[in-house]
Amino acid sequence: MTVEIDSLEVRYGATRALRDVSCRVAGGEVLALIGANGAGKSTLLRTLAGVTRPRAGTVRVLGQDTTRLRAHDIARRGLRLVPEGRHLFDDLTVGENLWMGAHRSRREAERNSSQLERVFELFPVLREFAGRRAGALSGGQQQMVAIGRALMGRPSVLLLDEPSLGLAPRYVAQIMDVVGGLAADGTTVVIAEQNAAAALRTADQGIVLSNGRITHSGPARGLLEDDDVSRHYLGVGTNDRTDGGEPRRLTLALDRLDV
């Protein structure tokens, strides 16, 4: 397994943000974390990345115990986090922002150039805007830069925190398509999303978090068809389903997104 989480507990003062969270993510698999605001999705990603320290439990990435490692040490081991809000350097160009995510050494120069070309293949608009200030881009384009910057480090594990937040549907569709392509190439992706429909449609596995606990888990397709998950997180119920079992309003929404 690429990512292994066992009995994870995280507290912010007296508040337990995560409670006894355990899961496994295999190589080249997409795991969707869904749940309401404050459910613990971002906390779980931040803990995996070493930004937040757990009170109890263990995290293993690529077979190594990373529970107590610092964030930059975890990043060196092949895990990268794209945080909510993107956190770009607005006054730097798109190209400069991308290079910020690259390994810096002479021996890495050729591989970095190859990876930059890969980022441009995934997000062609970034090649066109490479010399433009990042702060002048649209929200969707900035999200592409943030993901591209993380990919410059050639991660084995990519964590995405609310990548579709505030984006137009066409950008949501493009980003989810890229996520699927990265997984097909062997990158493990963990994506925290309030857009549960798009995330589950893209993912292999899913976890529903509520008040820091896992309430549902399993194959993403099964969660899409679970009536309790549909009612609480997709806004549909049994009477809203198509003959094929998928929520009708979900199907219509995804058709509009072309996800």
**Is the CATH number 3.40.50.300 carried by domain 1-78+156-220?**
yes
Question: For residue 170, how many other CB atoms are within 10 A of its CB?
Answer: 11
Domain ranges across the chain = 1-78+156-220, 89-154
According to the model, what pLDDT value does residue 1 have? Answer: 84
Flag the least confident range among 65-69, 178-182, 220-224, 236-240: 236-240
188-193/157-161 β-pairing:
parallel
Q: How far is it, in rounded angstroms, from Cα 197 to Cα 249?
A: 10
Contacts of 245-250 with CB under 8 Å at 24 or more apart are 247/197, 250/197, 250/224
Residue 240 pLDDT greater than 60, yes or no: no
Model confidence band, residue 258 (pLDDT cutoffs 50, 70, 90):
very low
Percent of the chain with pLDDT over 70: 89
For residue range 49-90, what is the model confidence (pLDDT) as tens digits? Answer: 999 999 999 999 999 999 999 999 999 999 999 999 889 999
For residue range 151-163, what is the model confidence (pLDDT) as tens digits? Answer: 999 999 999 999 9
According to the model, what pLDDT value does residue 22 have? Answer: 98
For residue range 212-235, what is the model confidence (pLDDT) as tens digits? Answer: 999 999 999 999 999 999 998 886
Question: When comparing pLDDT for 239 and 175, which is higher?
Answer: 175
Q: Three-state SS for 257?
A: helix
Q: How far is it, in rounded angstroms, from Cα 154 to Cα 248?
A: 38
Nearest-CA neighbor of 226 among 252, 240, 245? 245
Model confidence band, residue 111 (pLDDT cutoffs 50, 70, 90):
confident
According to the model, what pLDDT value does residue 234 have? Answer: 83
